[in-house]
Structure formats: structure tokens, C-alpha cells
């Protein structure tokens, strides 16, 4: 399939790469991977059982046509398998298949597969190439770009990991348009976040339902690329991407994870707006109301079942806390969020009043 009409977004990290976005681009996987792994003899697909059944054959066929000898390993789907044990199993299988440094790994799946496969790629033989093929909207607009990889530990999420950029990202929007509603909405929480933190026009387009899927993915990936370029190793500005997440994680945790990550982030973003309103930081009246309406359009909840007091109790151990202050991401207006360090005492006082 010709790729001239597809969107290519350069990601300018210390090892630059491109995100290819388009309808049906999955059929080009082999050629795309050949572009970035010219020497590779073998391609090793890592996926989960659900995604492999849906898209494994297309990817495998495309890789075989591009001259790769193809290996596949799928683990059981779900966050509970984003573990060191899964990573170890993949590492052992890579050894058994005699995958070398010139070969390439292919992460076919959502954020869980991308994070685990990326982590394995970072540590196997001290680093091999990998390519991301995101199959959820969240993975397409967020986790597949930027090089954060890792696994969960019993003590918490994403506690072991590495920065390791992919060599390419191949994003087929046809896959995303076939996603079940809940998974799609889950990713829309991150999309709406990009509008809120830095792109008023995009937020407006989402508000009016004028953004098509290609635009949604392209604009989001460009937004992430811009932030990652400025702060690849998460030392400052990348924190903006946490908008809604600090509150969201607390909400997810308090719900015993019956609320999804996207639902938590949606409610968390509304909390951040209400907080900004309350302290007079927001320059836009009713910003929480405006955000809530956009969330509703994409079937995301706005109202948290938990109070500010409950959130505070759940948040005191959050990793975004630095000593006696906490870094909040607060909106000045829709399209302009800032990193605001707040003393814990003030934070407690304001939040418990919400
Ligand atoms: N690395 C990063 O920068 C970053 C950023 C955000 C999130 N994450 C991580 O991403 C993970 C969440 O990602 P996710 O929401 O994609 O979850 P996921 O990978 O668990 O996928 C969700 C579910 O959807 C299924 N699925 C995937 N693609 C599908 C498709 N096309 N059709 C039908 N079902 C499909 C999966 O099998 C799984 O059951 C978390 O572990 C989170 O920590 C990482």
C-alpha cells in the first residue's frame, strides 16, 4: 500500500524516529520495519492473546514478505501481566530463538504490551531495537511515543523500567476505529488532556465534535512529541502530561480499580479544574463545566464519587510529591496548563474543601 497519503511525524529524541499514522498501514509493517532494521534477519513479535488473535497474522505476513524470519510470543492480556515474570519469560524465549543485537522486537498491542516489550528491548543484550504497533487509542496517542518502558512491581505500578525509544511507531487508524467503546473512551481521556494542556483550537474541535480520528491521533502525537523533545528524561516539562493523573490515580485506587485509568483521569482533570477555580488560578470561568461537557461527549465521567478529603488521604504518597511540596498541573484556561508547586499544607487545605 502506498504511504504518501499517510502521516509521518518525526520524534526528535536522542535517537530520532517516526510515527507513521494511516488507515490500513498495518499491511506496511514489514517495509516500515525494514527501513529501520536493514540488517535484521529475525523479527520477534510480542503481543497479548487478545491482540495476537486479531492482528497477529497480518503483521506476521507483512514481516515475512519483507524477508524476516518471524517469531511470536503472546502473554495473557491485562495489567496484572505487566510483570518481571512476563519480562523474564520473553527474555528466555529471545535467547532460545537466538535473537541478536541486529534483530528487532515488535510490540503489537496496547500500553501493557508496549511497556513490557520496550522494557525487554532495553535490557536484552543491553539494548535491541523495537518497533511499536499500538492497537489501543491510549497506546497510539500516549504510551507508544516517548520511550518510557517498564513493568509493575508488587509495591506499585511502573516501578521498574528504562527509557528506551522505539525505532518506529506504526499506527493503523483502522484498528482504532474498530475498538470497543470503553477502550476508545479510555484513550479519549488522554486526547482531551492534550487539548486542555496546550492546544485551545484542538480542544474547541473536540468540543464541537469536529475532529476526525486521523486528526485526533495526529494532533495528540504531535503534542506528545513536542513535550518529549523538550524533556525526554522527565525532569521538568514532561510533568505537564500528568494533568489529571495525580488526582486520577487516587480516584482509581480509591475505587479499588473498578474505575478504569481513563475514567480516573477524566474525573482527575475535572478536579484539577475545580482546584484551579477555587484558588483563583484559572482565568476562565466555569472551566470545569466546559471540560465536563467534552468528557460527556466522549462517554467519560466527570463527577468523582470521592471527596477532596478522601483524595488527599490517598495521595500523600504519590511520587509527584517532592518533600514538602506537590507539583500540580493546573489550567489557566482550556489550552493552557502550568506546573504549579504547592506546599502540602496549602494543598491539603484547598483539596479537603473541594
Ligand atoms: N509508557 C508510557 O509512556 C505510558 C503512558 C500511558 C500509559 N502507559 C501504560 O499503558 C497501559 C495501559 O494501556 P492500554 O490502556 O492500552 O491497556 P492494555 O494494553 O492492557 O489494553 C487494554 C485491553 O485491550 C485489549 N486490546 C488491545 N488492543 C485491542 C484491540 N485493537 N481490540 C480489542 N481489544 C484490544 C488488550 O488485550 C487489553 O485487554 C498501562 O500499563 C499504563 O501504565 C504507559
User: Model confidence over 133-183: pLDDT tens digits?
Assistant: 999 999 999 999 999 999 999 988 899 999 999 999 999 999 999 999 999
Length of the chain: 354
Give the residue, out of 82, 110, 228, with the most ligand 1 atoms within 8 A of its beta carbon, to mutate for a pocket test.
110
- Asked whether residue 206 falls in the same domain as residue 119, the answer is no
- Asked whether residue 85 falls in the same domain as residue 224, the answer is no
Burial class (CB in 10 A: 0-12, 13-18, 19+), 253: middle
Question: What is the sign, positive or negative, of the torsion defined by CA atoms of 257, 260, 262, 267?
Answer: negative
Separate counts of helices (H) and strands (E) for the chain: 14, 12
Identify whether 1 is part of a domain: no
* pLDDT confidence of residue 4: 65
Pocket of ligand 1 (CB under 6 A): 48, 50-51, 54, 77-79, 82, 109-113, 115, 135-136, 138-139, 142-143, 146, 148, 157-158, 175, 179-180, 183, 186
- d(C-alpha 100, C-alpha 145), whole Å: 24
- Asked whether residue 250 falls in the same domain as residue 308, the answer is yes
Q: Check which CATH number belongs to the domain holding 331 and give it.
A: 1.20.1090.10
CB contact set of 139 (below 8 Å; sequence gap of 6+): 109, 110, 111, 113, 114, 132, 187
Average pLDDT in the chain: 95
* pLDDT confidence of residue 318: 55
- d(C-alpha 249, C-alpha 9), whole Å: 30
* pLDDT confidence of residue 316: 79
- Asked whether residue 91 falls in the same domain as residue 13, the answer is yes
* Ligand 1 center from residue 201 Cα (angstroms): 28
* pLDDT confidence of residue 156: 87
- d(C-alpha 41, C-alpha 38), whole Å: 9
pLDDT in tens, 213-267: 999 999 999 999 999 999 999 999 999 999 999 999 999 999 998 999 999 999 9
Nearest CA to ligand 1 atom 27: 110
Identify whether 2 is part of a domain: no
Q: How many CB atoms lie within 10 A of CB 229?
A: 15
- d(C-alpha 317, C-alpha 320), whole Å: 9
* Ligand 1 center from residue 139 Cα (angstroms): 6
Q: C-alpha cell of 150?
A: 517498564
Q: 215 by DSSP, 3-state: which? A: helix
- Asked whether residue 232 falls in the same domain as residue 166, the answer is no
- d(C-alpha 112, C-alpha 270), whole Å: 26
* pLDDT confidence of residue 2: 63
Q: Check which CATH number belongs to the domain holding 153 and give it.
A: 3.40.50.1970
Nearest CA to ligand 1 atom 32: 179
- Asked whether residue 146 falls in the same domain as residue 67, the answer is yes
* pLDDT confidence of residue 202: 98
- d(C-alpha 24, C-alpha 3), whole Å: 10
At what angle are helices 111-123 and 84-96 packed, to 10 degrees?
Answer: 60
Give the residue, out of 11, 50, 194, 259, with the most ligand 1 atoms within 8 A of its beta carbon, to mutate for a pocket test.
50
- Asked whether residue 329 falls in the same domain as residue 196, the answer is yes
Residue 3 pLDDT more than 90?
no
Confidence bin at 5 (pLDDT 50/70/90): confident
- Asked whether residue 287 falls in the same domain as residue 338, the answer is yes
> What value, to the nearest 5°, has the Cα angle with vertex 142 and ends 281 and 1?
140
Domain-ending residue, one of 115, 149, 177:
177
Give the residue-averaged pLDDT of 29-42.
97
- Host domain of residue 309: 181-352
Confidence bin at 320 (pLDDT 50/70/90): low
pLDDT in tens, 61-120: 999 999 999 999 999 999 999 999 999 999 999 999 999 999 999 999 999 999 999 999
Identify whether 67 is part of a domain: yes
Give the residue-averaged pLDDT of 121-129.
98
* Ligand 1 center from residue 285 Cα (angstroms): 35
Confidence bin at 336 (pLDDT 50/70/90): very high
Strand pairing class (42-48; 69-75):
parallel
Confidence bin at 317 (pLDDT 50/70/90): low
- Asked whether residue 232 falls in the same domain as residue 283, the answer is yes
Nearest CA to ligand 1 atom 33: 179
* Ligand 1 center from residue 177 Cα (angstroms): 15
Amino acid at each position: 500500500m502506498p504511504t504518501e497519503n499517510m502521516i509521518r511525524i518525526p520524534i526528535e529524541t536522542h535517537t530520532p524516529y517516526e510515527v507513521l499514522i494511516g488507515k490500513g498501514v498495518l499491511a506496511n509493517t514489514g517495509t516500515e520495519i525494514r527501513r529501520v532494521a536493514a540488517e535484521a534477519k529475525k523479527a520477534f513479535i510480542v503481543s497479548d492473546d487478545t491482540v495476537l488473535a486479531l492482528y497477529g497474522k497480518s503483521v506476521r505476513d507483512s514481516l515475512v514478505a519483507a524477508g524476516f524470519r518471524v517469531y511470536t510470543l503472546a502473554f495473557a492480556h491485562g495489567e496484572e501481566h505487566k510483570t518481571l515474570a512476563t519480562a523474564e519469560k520473553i527474555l528466555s524465549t529471545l535467547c532460545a530463538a537466538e535473537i541478536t543485537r541486529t534483530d528487532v522486537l515488535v510490540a503489537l498491542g496496547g500500553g501493557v504490551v508496549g511497556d513490557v516489550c520496550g522494557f525487554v528491548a532495553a535490557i536484552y543484550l543491553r539494548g535491541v531495537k523495537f518497533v511499536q504497533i499500538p492497537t489501543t487509542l491510549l497506546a497510539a496517542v500516549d504510551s507508544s511515543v516517548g520511550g518510557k518502558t517498564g513493568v509493575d512491581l508488587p509495591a506499585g505500578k511502573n516501578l521498574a523500567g528504562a527509557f528506551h525509544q522505539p525505532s518506529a511507531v506504526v499506527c493503523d487508524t483502522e484498528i482504532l476505529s474498530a475498538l470497543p467503546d470503553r477502550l476508545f473512551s479510555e484513550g479519549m481521556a488522554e486526547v482531551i488532556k492534550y487539548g486542555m494542556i496546550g492546544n485551545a483550537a484542538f480542544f474547541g474541535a473536540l468540543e464541537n465534535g469536529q475532529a476526525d480520528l486521523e486528526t485526533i491521533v495526529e494532533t495528540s502525537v504531535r503534542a506528545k512529541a513536542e513535550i518529549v523533545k523538550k524533556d525526554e528524561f522527565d525532569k521538568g516539562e514532561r510533568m505537564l502530561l500528568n494533568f489529571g493523573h495525580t488526582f486520577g490515580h487516587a480516584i482509581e485506587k480509591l475505587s479499588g480499580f473498578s474505575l478504569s485509568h481513563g475514567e480516573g483521569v477524566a474525573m482527575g482533570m475535572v478536579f484539577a479544574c475545580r482546584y484551579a477555580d477555587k484558588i483563583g488560578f484559572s482565568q476562565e470561568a466555569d472551566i470545569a463545566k466546559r471540560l465536563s461537557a467534552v468528557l460527556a461527549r466522549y462517554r467519560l465521567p466527570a463527577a468523582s464519587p470521592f471527596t477532596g478529603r478522601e483524595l488527599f488521604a490517598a495521595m500523600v504518597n504519590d511520587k509527584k510529591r517532592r518533600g514538602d511540596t506537590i507539583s500540580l498541573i493546573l489550567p489557566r484556561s482550556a489550552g493552557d496548563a502550568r506546573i504549579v508547586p504547592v506546599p502540602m499544607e496549602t494543598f491539603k487545605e484547598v483539596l479537603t474543601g473541594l
